[in-house]
Each structure stands twice: as structure tokens, then as C-alpha cells.
Amino acid sequence: MSYYERHIFFCLNVRDNGENACTQHNAQAGYEHCKARVKALKLAGPGGVRVNKAGCLDRCAGGPVAVVYPEAVWYTYVDEHDIDEIVESHLQRGQVVKRLLLPATVGRG
């Protein structure tokens, strides 16, 4: 058994050279909202969910992005409503939110 049932990693990368990066797409707010929702729903902690910051996940063209493990499901999101859906559907009930899936072909550029 894993220490956490699920991990969600949010790309919070910053690029000073003007290239696309998740922080340009309000990724910090998405991370903070997710962390608050997970705590409010009492999903946080051992045996539950861990919300983590990440550096570049190399999928910048789809930013902002987050990935849920152990399933390795990649999401893109727009606002708090999208984050709520990921938390309540995937993190809480284990159901992937298909409408927010990041296409497998989306990479850095």
C-alpha cells in the first residue's frame, strides 16, 4: 500500500525568457485552491491525497497542467470550477474527468 492513495502535482514553473509557462496561466491559484478543497473535504494526509508543487512538467503548450498519480492522468484546467471537478471526481471518487484531459500529443512547444 502506498503512503498516499493519490498525488496531484501542479506545474508552477516560471520562465524568464518569455517562453510559455504554467505560471502565466494562473497555476499558483489553481494549486492553492486544490490544496484548500482537499483539506476542506478531509482528503489530505496519509492514505489520502497529497497536493504538491512541481517545477516544469514539460507540457507547457497545454498550460496550466496538473498530473495525478499513481494513474498518471494529465489535466489542463481553466478555473476553480475545473479544480473542484478534479478534486471531487478524481481525487475523491477515482473517476477521471475526461473533459479536462490533456491530449497525449501536447508537449512543451
Provide the pLDDT for residue 60: 87
Provide the pLDDT for residue 1: 66
Q: Across the chain, what does the average pLDDT equal?
A: 94
Q: What distance in Å separates the CA atoms of residue 10 and residue 108, rounded to the nearest whole number?
A: 15
pTM for the full model? 0.94
Domains assigned to the chain: 6-100 (3.40.30.10)
Tell me what the mean pLDDT of segment 69-78 comes to. Answer: 96
Give the tens place of pLDDT for each residue, 90-105: 999 999 999 999 999 9
Question: Which residues are within 8 A (CB) of 5 and not within 5 positions of it... i.e. 6 or more apart?
Answer: 47, 48, 49
